[in-house]
């Protein structure tokens, strides 16, 4: 049985990012850059006014004011090619290129317009309210580094740099196989001893959050031959095969045996965490395999802790592993030492309220949680008011 950190390190050590592909900026939200994004131009591309006001030469404001200048031009956003005559001012608007010969802008609130003239009671500071060409980013500079996951703000930067396309890692292909005689589709006719398959929709949605393309395979029952047949087809068609259930030690847990029979080399199949101890990890050729436990909380938690970092790493994401946050406990946690515990809790005014029902088969505990509070494997628990580390579910 491996320690949590060692198990995750062993998984991530095997990963090489997938090849890159060009995609339109409009379709790149959530994708990961597979190469540095370099600026194709200076940002901003020209000197421009940061305010509505008047473009002037600071040298024209000698002596003591007030100063009266003739308004010789008007410059709007999108305009160009105008020069400022000496001893005059130009009406200028936010975003408009600075006129040749101008070096400062005076806000319209500090000016008194009268026909073709304007009066200023205070002179400008040289360069005031002017955004200089390249002051944000110079042409050729790295704007976003390889391994950055794109979001609306980073896509805005890419578009501002005149990029219509970006090179991003290909989406990982995930095949998801849920096993078990007891499972049926949610909403289907009830049969004695059956339960709705909650893992299929939940785990597929989790994997898609990383940018993966997920294919849910037809469920198999607790039969070695049918499970082998399903695995055989899937292993050649995905980057990550997720199996759910059947990796423990029960008489009807056939997935581990089926994986080995299909040529999957298993690295480990137990991790010292609670819940989620029965977790199998292996490979066949270029395909990774994670065998998740069948209990809903255990499956969701192990995919979040091990599978999602793997999927991010396959895209070259430099932040593949979520960072823990510090919380204070509203109530005590007790545990039997020996496994790192992950306890579902809700944040209330910055304090973690740990749910009473921590059973691995209770999906309510995950559905109503904001964080997973971590209790070290050697600890017998934490007192109310104690500080602890936690993982935010939104960060997983």
Owning domain of residue 29:
20-43+135-169
**Residue 67 placed within a domain:** yes
**Across-strand partners of 176?**
216, 242
Q: From CA 125, how far away is CA 150, in angstroms rounded?
A: 39
What is the CATH number for 272? Answer: 3.40.980.10
114 and 25 in a common domain: no
Angle at 317 between CA 312 and CA 318, to 5 degrees: 130
**Residue 251 placed within a domain:** yes
End position of a domain, from candidates 314, 334, 350: 314
112 and 150 in a common domain: no
243 and 377 in a common domain: no
- Beta-carbon neighbour count of residue 103 at 10 Å? 18
Q: Provide the residue-wise pLDDT of the chain in tens; the chain has 396 residues.
A: 899 999 999 999 999 999 999 999 999 999 999 999 999 999 999 999 999 999 999 999 998 889 999 999 999 999 988 999 999 999 999 999 999 999 999 999 999 999 999 999 999 999 999 999 999 999 999 999 999 999 999 999 999 999 999 999 999 999 999 988 888 989 999 999 999 999 999 999 999 999 999 999 999 888 889 899 999 989 999 999 999 987 655 544 788 889 999 999 999 989 999 999 999 999 999 999 999 999 999 999 999 999 999 999 999 999 999 999 999 999 999 999 999 999 999 999 989 999 999 998 889 999 999 999 999 999 999 999 999 999 999 999
End position of a domain, from candidates 131, 157, 184: 131
Are 203 and 292 a contacting pair, CB within 8 Å? yes
Would you call 58 helix, strand, or coil by DSSP? helix
354 and 374 in a common domain: yes
193 and 301 in a common domain: yes
What is the CATH number for 382? Answer: 2.40.340.10
141 and 114 in a common domain: no
Closest CA to 194 of 175, 205, 181: 181
What is the CATH number for 59? Answer: 2.170.190.11
H helix runs in 236-295, sequence order? 255-261
pLDDT at 173: 98
The two three-digit tokens of residue 250, written as one number? 């029960």
CA atoms within 13 A on the CB side of 313: 19
pLDDT at 249: 53
Closest CA to 120 of 75, 82, 64: 64
What is the CATH number for 161? Answer: 3.90.105.10
Angle at 345 between CA 199 and CA 300, to 5 degrees: 15
**Residue 319 placed within a domain:** no
Q: From CA 215, how far away is CA 192, in angstroms rounded?
A: 29
**Residue 163 placed within a domain:** yes
**Residue 211 placed within a domain:** yes
The two three-digit tokens of residue 34, written as one number? 């597979």
Q: From CA 220, how far away is CA 237, in angstroms rounded?
A: 18
139 and 124 in a common domain: no
116 and 74 in a common domain: yes
End position of a domain, from candidates 131, 148, 182: 131
274 and 196 in a common domain: yes
Phi, psi of 389 (to 5 degrees): -95, 150
Would you say the pTM of this structure is higher than 0.85?
Answer: yes
**Residue 320 placed within a domain:** no
206 and 161 in a common domain: no
**Residue 259 placed within a domain:** yes
Question: What total of structural domains would you count in the chain?
Answer: 4
310 and 193 in a common domain: yes
295 and 177 in a common domain: yes
pLDDT at 248: 58
**Across-strand partners of 304?**
none
The residue with tokens 């050649």 is 236
Burial label, 220 (beta-carbon count in 10 A; 0-12, 13-18, 19+) = buried
**Residue 358 placed within a domain:** yes
């Amino acid at each position: 049985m491996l320690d949590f950190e060692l198990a995750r390190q062993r998984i991530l050590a095997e990963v090489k990012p997938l090849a890159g592909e060009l995609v339109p900026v409009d379709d790149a939200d959530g994708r990961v850059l597979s190469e540095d994004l370099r600026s194709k131009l200076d940002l901003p591309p020209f000197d421009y006014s940061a305010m509505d006001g008047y473009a002037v030469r600071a040298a024209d404001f000698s002596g003591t004011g007030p100063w009266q200048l003739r308004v010789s031009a008007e410059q709007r956003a999108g305009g160009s090619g105008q020069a400022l005559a000496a001893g005059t001012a130009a009406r200028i608007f936010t975003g408009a290129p600075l006129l040749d010969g101008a070096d400062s802008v005076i806000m319209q609130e500090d000016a008194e317009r009268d026909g073709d003239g304007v009066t200023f009671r205070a002179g400008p500071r040289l360069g005031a309210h002017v955004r200089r060409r390249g002051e944000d980013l110079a042409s050729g500079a790295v704007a976003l580094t390889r391994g950055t996951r794109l979001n609306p703000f980073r896509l805005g930067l890419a578009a501002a740099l005149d990029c219509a396309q970006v090179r991003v890692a290909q989406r990982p292909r995930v095949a998801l196989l849920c096993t078990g005689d007891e499972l049926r589709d949610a909403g289907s006719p009830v049969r004695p001893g059956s339960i709705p398959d909650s893992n299929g929709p939940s785990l597929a949605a989790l994997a898609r959050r990383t940018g993966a393309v997920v294919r849910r395979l037809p469920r198999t029952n607790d039969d070695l031959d049918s499970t082998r047949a399903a695995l055989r087809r899937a292993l050649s068609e995905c980057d990550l095969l997720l199996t759910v259930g059947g990796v423990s030690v029960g008489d009807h847990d056939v997935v581990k045996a089926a994986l080995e029979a299909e040529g999957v080399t298993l690295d480990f199949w137990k991790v010292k965490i609670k819940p989620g101890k029965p977790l199998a990890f292996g490979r066949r050729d270029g395909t990774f395999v994670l065998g998740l436990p069948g209990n809903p909380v255990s499956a969701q938690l192990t995919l979040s802790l091990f599978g999602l970092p793997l999927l991010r790493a396959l895209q070259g994401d430099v932040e593949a592993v979520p960072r823990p946050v510090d919380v204070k406990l509203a109530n005590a946690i007790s545990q039997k030492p020996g496994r790192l515990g992950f306890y579902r809790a809700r944040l209330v005014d910055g304090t973690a309220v740990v749910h009473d029902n921590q059973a691995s088969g209770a999906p309510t505990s995950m559905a109503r949680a904001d964080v997973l509070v971590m209790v070290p494997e050697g600890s017998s628990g934490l007192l109310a008011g104690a500080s602890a580390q936690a993982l935010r579910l939104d960060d997983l």
